[in-house]
Structures are given as C-alpha cells and as structure tokens.
Structure 1
C-alpha cells in the first residue's frame, strides 16, 4: 500500500460494531429506560430475538485481551454468578412477547467454556424453554480450546450448541507464550474431526499485530488453518490500547509489529484465503462460498449486531445478560455494570443492573442503517435505504454527516467509487472501511473519544 495513503488514513476511528459506538453511552440511562425500550421492542423490527450471555471468567489472562474479563475465583462464585444470570433472564424475558422467536444465542466473555459446562446448559435450557426458535437458529459459543477435553466438547454439543468459535489467535507457540496464552489441549485436527462428526459449524479466530508476529509467520499460521477448511475464519486486527487495558503493556516488552508490517499481515492472509476459495465478508471475516453470509453479502443485505455478521433471517434485537452485557434494541442500547459483585447483588434484589445506555434519536437511527449497510456490504445504495425507511435520498444523507467534498477526496485516493445513488469500497481501500463510515458520523464532529487505528 502507498505509504502516504497508509499514514493518512491509519488514524483512530470507531470499529462500528454498533452505532453509536459504546463509548457514547450515557450514565443517566437507567433500568426504567431499559424496561421501556424492551416494551417498545415488541412492536419494532427486527422481530426476532437474539440473546447474548457474558461469562467473564478466564483461567488465565491473555495480555492482548480488550474484553471485559476477570480471573476465575472459584466454582462457588461461578455458580452464584450463573444463578444471577438466570434471575436476570426471568426479569427481562417476562417483558418480551412470547410469540417472538429466537434467532440467535451467543456466549462470549471472558472464556465462557472455562466454567462448569453444566451451568452453561442450565442457561440454554432456560432460554430455549421460554420461546420457540426460527428454523435453524444459530446457537454459538466462544471456546478457549486450551482447556477443553473431548468430553468437554461433547458436553457443549449436548447443551445444544451448533456453532463453536475456536480462539486460536496464532499457531506459533512463541507468539502465544509472549501473549500469555496456551495452545489447544487437543490437536486441532482431532477437534475438527469430533465437531464435524456431530454436524457442528466451526469458526477459527486469529489476531494479527501481536508481539513476535511477522507477515511471514502469520502467513504460516493461516496456511495451517486452510486445510482444516473451517466454515468461517476471522482475522482480527489487534488494538493496542494500554491506557484502557493495562495488561497490554506486557506485550511491549517484546516489541509490536509496525503499522506497515501489520498491513502486510492483513494482505498476506487475505491473499492465502481468497486463493483457497474463501469469500471475504466485511473487514475481517472469510467464509465458504456456500455460507449464507456470502449469499446475503451478494444480495447486499448482510447485517450485523454485537455477535457479529448475520443475515436478515437471523438478525434479531439483542437482549444481553451478565456483567457488561449490552442489549442492542431498535431504539436504545443498555449496558450492565462491569462489577461482578454489584451485578449479583442487584439482580438478587430484583433489579436489572443497568449502568449506562443510549436512546437513539431519529437521525441516529437513520445513520445506523447507513453505516451498518456500509460496514456489512462494502457499499451504500442510498435509494435502497431510503425506500426501506420511507424517506428520500436527500433526507437520508441529511441525517448523516455526508459530505460531497469528503467523498471526492476518498475517491481521489482510490478508497471508494461513488455517484449520487451509490458508494462502493474499492479493493485497495478495504482496510479503511471504518474511515469512510466515520466520515458519515455526526457524533464524531468535535469528539474527543478514544478509538483504535484501522491497521
């Protein structure tokens, strides 16, 4: 990539896993606001339900981690935590229309697979006992395979999971050691053989930009993954923000790759995966050609929520449980407290431990539609969005920070092609998708919020 372009656009911008980004949430958003938003959500679209469960515990802390996670403190604490989650489920689900159907259940963390897996099954049983599911729902869990035996994987299958995301991060043990992460307990081939025999869809997750990684070493990791032929493969760009996550400072002892080296890692992995027949979805997802995500992307109607990319079929409003869980409803976001003791105490007193949130105004709901379309489909069809929202193109653009001059600048730098009705990312500009999205965001005008760089 041209060094001038790299330096110009590799500036901090939101990841846009939500709009507005979570650091715009307000402290004056309380439980009563969430309960009102839940009631309203029953008559809003999408009508399907997505559930997110946050399990914050890890057996050991990876230095790169930017998640809301905590060291394990004991089985009694974990049992008390899960009992609180089950009570929160009762408080929220009592407000949800029982005619609605589950499209997704997703567990994140932390390492949700690190606790007693019987507790995980209790949560699934509770949710699946309250609502019907759409045909072929996605019931997924993030797994740290460094601690999972064959019996453990079977327990997860018995609990009803049909997709597992295996957090590999890197196959190079030196990279893992520098990051304080252990490799898979079982040979990766054995894990695939077991899960495939049970019909489980498998994601592999990798991170580029870690200490000791190079473009060559990361290429070898991706080359090892390709023959396994996972259903989906994700290459996350490491975001180094030690001011927010102090444990990341440990990685600085080994030195971190330069921005230019990270760019080489991204493009090397991309080349390997595309040549192997994978199709790229968004910034970092690679899927099989037969995957419904690719079909949705081809039809320009791919969507996403905090769980990741999804089709319109599986898109649902998100109701989140557990510490730091973020409910993602049509008209509002609400995030729980991040303090485990406060979470358990509040839920046991009969309240939802909302710490902050955000109610979207009309312009922000329109902007969310625009940015989500761009982030998911690498393009904006203004008339399609306008028709979906029963507005004119001019009204849609006016709700955003759209600037003809800025679009011309992106086009001149080879980032996009655009006309009055279309904005399309060029292949060269794909790493700077977030920059184009940020240019449409009124909330970033005069903002002092902290974000990570695209590369």
Structure 2
C-alpha cells in the first residue's frame, strides 16, 4: 500500500463511514410501531433469508472517554436485570413475526461491555433464541469483550452457551495511553487468554484504536508487535474518530495532543506493513485476517459483506434484527433504530412491546446505491454493467440514479489509486485508504449534507 502524505492531505475530508446506506444521519423520527411490524413481517419474503441477531448491552463498569458507542455507567444489579428482561420481551415480540424456519447464521453481542454483566442473564437470552429458532451448524456467535473483565471461568461459560468468536477490545498495550482514555488493562496476559480461547474452539479478534493521545508511531508499532505475537485469528485497527459534537466526553482528550495527519498515517503504515509482511491479509479499511480465515477467502471470492456489526461473509450475512437501546435493525427494505436512552427504551417496550424511535424506508435507488457502495467498501471492485442488469436497468439509467459521472474518477485515476475500464471500477491496494472517498462518488445523498462526519482517512 502506498502511504503518500500528499494524497492523504488531498483526500482527507469529512465523509460517511458507510457501515450502512444511507448513513444513520438520514434516519427520521416518527416511525410508527405498526410500520415497523409490517416491515418485519415483510422481511420474511426478502433476501438474505438468513437471520442475524444483535443484542446491545449499554453499560460499562468504567466509561472510556474516547468511545463513540451508546453506553453509560453500570447501574445497580436490579436495573441491569430489568433491562435484560425488557430486551427479552422485545425479542419475543419480534420473534413471533419472523418465519421460524429461517436459519440463524449470526449472533452478535455489543455494547457497552456485555461481558461485565451476569453470564446467567446472557444465558437466558441465548436460551430464548434457541426456543424460537434453529442455529445453522456454522453460525457465528460473537461477543465484544473488555479484557479487564474476562476470566477463564467466563470463557468456559461463553463456550457452554455456544459462543465461538470473541473480540477483545485491547485498544493499546501502553498503560499511559489506557490511563488517558480511562480504560483498564487486561486482567490476564493477553497471549495466554488468546491461547485459552482458541484451545476452547473460540476464534479471537484483537481490537485496537490508533490516533489516541499518548500514542506515537513507535509505541503503536510495539503494540501491534505484541498483538501479532499473541497469534489471534484477526487483528482490527480502528482509526480514532474525534467527534466531540456527538460524544462530549471526547473533549476531555483535547487536553492532550491528539495524533493527526502524517503521524497517524505512520501508525497505520507500520501496522499494515508488519501484518501483511508476516502473514495476515488486509481486509477493507481496518481488518487483518489469516489467509485461511473465511474473511480472507471471501475477499478473494468478492463475497465480503459489511453491516453495523462489521465485516462478515455473504454466507453468514442475514437481515439484522437488533434488540436493546440504540440498536439498529437492518432489513432489505428499511432500517429501524430503537430509543438511545435506556429508560426511554424500557418505557417504550413496557408500553407497546417494541421501542422504535426512528428509521428509514428504502427506495429502489437507495438499494442500488447500497449495493454499489457495499461492493466498493468490501470487495474493492464493482462492475456497473452487472449491477445494472441485477437491478433491471440500462447502464444509462444506473448512471442517472447514482448521479455518477465517470469524470469524477479522473483524479483517482491520475493518482494511480483506481482503474476504470469497460464500466468496471477496481480500487488498487494503494487506494484502499481512500475507499470512503471513492464510495462518495456513487452517493447521491452525500451532497445533501445531512449530519457531520468524521474524516475519511
């Protein structure tokens, strides 16, 4: 990959992250519960047929000030139990609207810190899932875990519940960096924990964030070296997004120097070169996987997908049915987001069984844009002629709906970042840092300017 400071300066600007299309900034309030029910039922006839379930636990024993997730301080135990029982009630309501013959291929627990609550409560939810649905043999059952609260006993409990992937949010191995972001280090040696999980049949991701106060290219290189030595299945390196207008706690970090520009780029450059040189395959913007990992194989086969839960393979991709405060349901035809405030969420489910606060109903053009942007972001390639045929359009009609002008690619072509030939777009490895910029050329809604965005690089 080419790490050119001049190109970084040229293309680094605010833009959507494209974990969904349209971005959540376009969601509208006033979505009725009946409309939500209608779309859930209709989704049984849409594709993908597979079911993906997401459960959100919006509590943390200690709040990190860099985090952009919807979370709050861990409340007393009885309130956590109330929240979890409410989420189970919401799940049962939606479950009755779904076709029980549809296979569950993906379950993901996020937060917050889901591994900081009682494992019995997690087990109650997992039992409820199995009461209504059948998990596919190769279903991925994953949880995001803070290693400060992981024990070997907890790992055993998760295995017994059927979990087979754990993402450990390390963020950084340097104690001073962790102190500045209000995060505790892992209780157990990370390399020992990774091996214990893998011996139990769990595939392990180690997650890191670069661009945090206290980091330098040298210190982050050392962190990645330790990550590599731990031998996880995947290593994930997220770029820190400083958005204090969204997350006020991030303003606290402004008392320190926040790495930007060439310094931040150098962190990623060293990470990329170390991991790709020593056996990992670069996936999308931020993932690195071993060559035999299903995600690396999916990239080769152009069958990689991305949703709010992150990168996944087409085989595991389902329409996403999400539960808990702030969670987002991703259907083929619509998006629905629950109330972000925990008490508002509980009150809504108590009153009407569901808790939808806002959403977005997809148009045919939205679906086309989503498909094109998905291909660019995941597989670094899109054949617009094939895409036009898929949507029963002429190439000219596709261009018009996307508001796409090939001349807009000229700068990327001149910089040797992409190839445009016979209506096929290929993003070179040198251009992968600018995937968001390329995707924006196929986004007719971007010019509307709804919401503020993090920077693209």
Same fold (TM over 0.5): yes
- Partners of 1:42 and 1:355 lie apart in 2 by 22
CA distance in 2, matches of 1:321, 1:192: 29
Residue 183 (structure 1) shift: 0.6
In the alignment, what sits opposite 2:142? Answer: 140
C-alpha distance in 2 between matches for 1:387 and 1:65: 42
Secondary structure at 2:349's aligned position in 1? helix
Q: Which moved more, 1:400-409 or 1:86-95?
A: 400-409
1:290 to 292, 306, 309: 292
Residue of structure 2 equivalent to 1:165: 167
Q: Does structure 2 retain, via aligned residues, the 8 Å contact 1:287–1:293?
A: yes
Aligned to 2:63: 61
Q: CA deviation at 1:6?
A: 1.6
Aligned to 2:28: 26
Matches within 5 A, 1:315-354: 315-354=317-356
Aligned equivalents of 2:197, 2:429: Cα separation in 1: 35
Matched, 1:41 2:49: no
Structure 1 residue runs of 4+, over 6 Å off?
A: none
Q: Distance in 1 between matches of 2:249 and 2:125?
A: 31
Tell me, yes or no, if the aligned pair for 1:242 and 1:249 is still in contact at 8 Å.
yes
User: Could you tell me whether the CA contact under 8 Å between 1:91 and 1:350 is conserved in 2?
Assistant: no
- Asked if structure 2 preserves the Cα contact closer than 8 Å seen for 1:30 and 1:357, the reply is no
Residue 279 of structure 1 aligns with which residue? 281
| Cα distance in structure 1, aligned partners of 2:334 and 2:213 | 38
Task: Measure, in 2, the Cα distance between the counterparts of 1:290 and 1:385.
Answer: 29
Query: For residues 241 and 192 of structure 1, what CA distance do their matches in structure 2 show?
Result: 32
8 Å Cα contact 2:171-2:207 kept in structure 1 = yes
Q: Per-residue deviation at 1:122?
A: 0.7
- Contact kept, 8 Å, 1:142 with 1:164, in 2: the verdict is yes
Which deviations, in whole Å up to 9, do the C-alpha atoms of 1:333-391 show, x marking residues without a partner?
A: 00000111121122122331111000011100110000001100011122332343343
In structure 1, stretches of 5+ residues that fail to align are: none
Please give the residue correspondences for 1:187-198 in structure 2 after superposition, counting only pairs within 5 Å: 187-198=189-200
CA displacement at 1:448 relative to structure 2: 4.2
Q: Distance in 1 between matches of 2:391 and 2:304?
A: 17
Alignment RMSD, CA only? 1.2
1:116-135 correspondence to structure 2 within 5 Å: 116-135=118-137
Q: 1:405 aligns with which of 404, 407, 419?
A: 407
Deviations 1:216-249 (A, max 9, x none): 1111111111122211111000000111101111
Q: Distance in 2 between matches of 1:40 and 1:370?
A: 24
CA contact (8 A) 2:31 2:359 kept: yes
- Cα deviation, 1:200-229, whole Å, max 9, x if unaligned, reads 100110000000111111111111111222
Q: Does the Cα contact within 8 Å between 2:16 and 2:436 map onto a contact in 1? A: yes
State the 1:28 CA deviation: 2.5
Indicate if the aligned counterparts of 2:194 and 2:231 stay in contact, CA closer than 8 A. Answer: no
Matched residues in 1 for 2:125 and 2:227: separation?
Answer: 32
Instruction: Answer whether contact 1:63 1:180 (CA < 8 A) is retained.
Output: yes
Figure out how many residues of one structure are paired with residues of the other and give that number.
455
After superposition, give the CA deviation of every residue in 1:111-136 in whole Å (9 maximum; x if it has no partner). Answer: 11111111011111111221112221
1:418 to 413, 417, 420: 420
- CA contact 2:191–2:231 (8 Å) conserved in 1: no
Measured against aligned partners, the alpha-carbon deviations of 1:264-291 in whole angstroms (never above 9, x if no partner) come to: 1111100010011100110111111111
TM-score, normalised relative to structure 1: 0.98
Superposed displacement of residue 306, structure 1: 1.2
Are positions 1:83 and 2:85 aligned together? yes
Using structure 2 for the length normalisation, give the TM-score. Answer: 0.97
Distance in 1 between residues matched to 2:317 and 2:402, nearest whole Å:
24
